[in-house]
Amino acid sequence: MSTVEIQKIKFNNNSMSEFIDIFDSRIHEQEKTFVVTANPELVSFANKEPKYFNTLNHADFILPDGIGVVIASKIINQPLKERVAGFDLMGELLKKAENQGLKVYLLGAKESTIEKAYLNIKTQHPKLNIVGKHHGYIDVNDEELVQEMIRLEPDLVFVGLGFPRQEYWIENHLGKFKKGLFMGVGGSFDVWGGEVKRAPQKWIDLNLEWLYRLIKQPTRFKRMLVLPRFIMKVLVERK
Ligand code: UDP
């Protein structure tokens, strides 16, 4: 499978529809799959934190979530096909799961948020089989919850604990499950629960989703300073 390496992280170079087909077949083969959707913040963190870097090495797929990653790939002349936003991929996988009767587990966000997210997902996908849900304020080593999840045999597990906790959680527990696609979804439940608004499609099409988020959640400003630094590093490394 073709990959593009950006700051030591190997991104899978596929379009959204290709990823959906790949994941669809892996779910049906019951092949366990660890999916990371990585933005520049996550890549920068992995470059500072060896433990997290090592966790990402155990992922089966790392997807370019964030226009910064796509820009970086162009700078190094190995263009990634497109940005694959975790939220959009989750939406596509939920559609598949509903049509195919797959079992879904939702883990993450505040208790009230995950409840609202669950109801909104159910409204949009009435036939979807959500076998369980749990808020994300847990110890990443919480064994009781994991045993309960294993018993439910989910085909898809969406883990929204924010990075790095969601990837640590998946790495810690994936080995105990018999099957399933496990994907870190960051703040996606906040969007499903109506706590955070996704940027309007026009902003997304103009590659300005990051700006929309910055305006709506100014507290993210410090986190977002990573973006120009990330691009600078890529430029310097190219030389
Ligand atoms: N969160 C959680 N458990 C924690 C810390 C955070 O479930 O211990 C949730 C938080 O409520 C939010 C998500 O993880 O829903 C992180 O959202 P953020 O927008 O920071 O994630 P990003 O998409 O930037 O990774």
Q: Is the CB of 160 under 6 A from ligand 1?
A: yes
Taking the centre of ligand 1 as the mean of its atom positions, its distance from the CA of residue 159, in whole angstroms, is 10
What 3-state class would DSSP assign to 107?
A: strand
Q: Is the CB of 163 under 6 A from ligand 1?
A: yes
Span 126-165, pLDDT tens digits:
999 999 999 999 999 999 999 999 999 999 999 999 999 9
DSSP 194: T
What 3-state class would DSSP assign to 159?
A: strand
CB 7 within 8 A of CB 237: yes
**Residue 239 above 90 pLDDT?**
no
Closest ligand 1 atom to 195 CA: 15
| Banded model confidence at residue 22, pLDDT cuts 50, 70, 90 | very high
Q: Is the CB of 237 under 6 A from ligand 1?
A: no
Q: Is the CB of 109 under 6 A from ligand 1?
A: yes
Report the C-alpha gap between 89 and 87 in whole angstroms. Answer: 6
Domain ranges of the chain: 3-238
Report the C-alpha gap between 127 and 105 in whole angstroms. Answer: 14
What 3-state class would DSSP assign to 206?
A: coil
Nearest Cα residue to 14 out of 87, 84, 91, 71: 84
| Residue having the nearest C-alpha atom to atom 20 of ligand 1 | 162
Per the structure block, which two tokens stand in for 18? 């290709």
pLDDT for position 237: 84
Closest ligand 1 atom to 107 CA: 7
Query: Rounded mean pLDDT of the chain?
Result: 95
Integer Rg of the chain from CA:
17
Q: What single letter denotes the amino acid at residue 8?
A: K
Cβ-based neighbour number of residue 27 at 10 Å: 21
CB 137 within 8 A of CB 110: yes
Q: Is the CB of 190 under 6 A from ligand 1?
A: yes
CA angle 21/23/26 to nearest 5° reads 110
Q: Is the CB of 38 under 6 A from ligand 1?
A: no
Q: Is the CB of 165 under 6 A from ligand 1?
A: yes
Span 25-64, pLDDT tens digits:
999 999 999 999 999 999 999 999 999 999 999 999 999 9
Span 177-230, pLDDT tens digits:
999 999 999 999 999 999 998 899 999 999 998 889 888 888 887 777 888 888
Full DSSP string of 102-142: -EEEEEES-HHHHHHHHHHHHHH-TT-EEEEEE-S-S-TT-
CA terminus-to-terminus distance, the chain: 27
Q: Is the CB of 91 under 6 A from ligand 1?
A: no
Report the C-alpha gap between 55 and 75 in whole angstroms. Answer: 26
Among 110, 161, 195, 209, the mutation site with the greatest number of ligand 1 atoms within 8 A of its Cβ is 161
Q: What single letter denotes the amino acid at residue 148?
A: E
Taking the centre of ligand 1 as the mean of its atom positions, its distance from the CA of residue 160, in whole angstroms, is 6
Taking the centre of ligand 1 as the mean of its atom positions, its distance from the CA of residue 221, in whole angstroms, is 16
| Residue having the nearest C-alpha atom to atom 22 of ligand 1 | 186
For tokens 């989750």, the residue is 90
Full DSSP string of 22-85: HHHHHHHTT--EEEEEE-HHHHHHHHH-HHHHHHHHT-SEEEE-SHHHHHHHHHTT---S----
What 3-state class would DSSP assign to 180?
A: coil
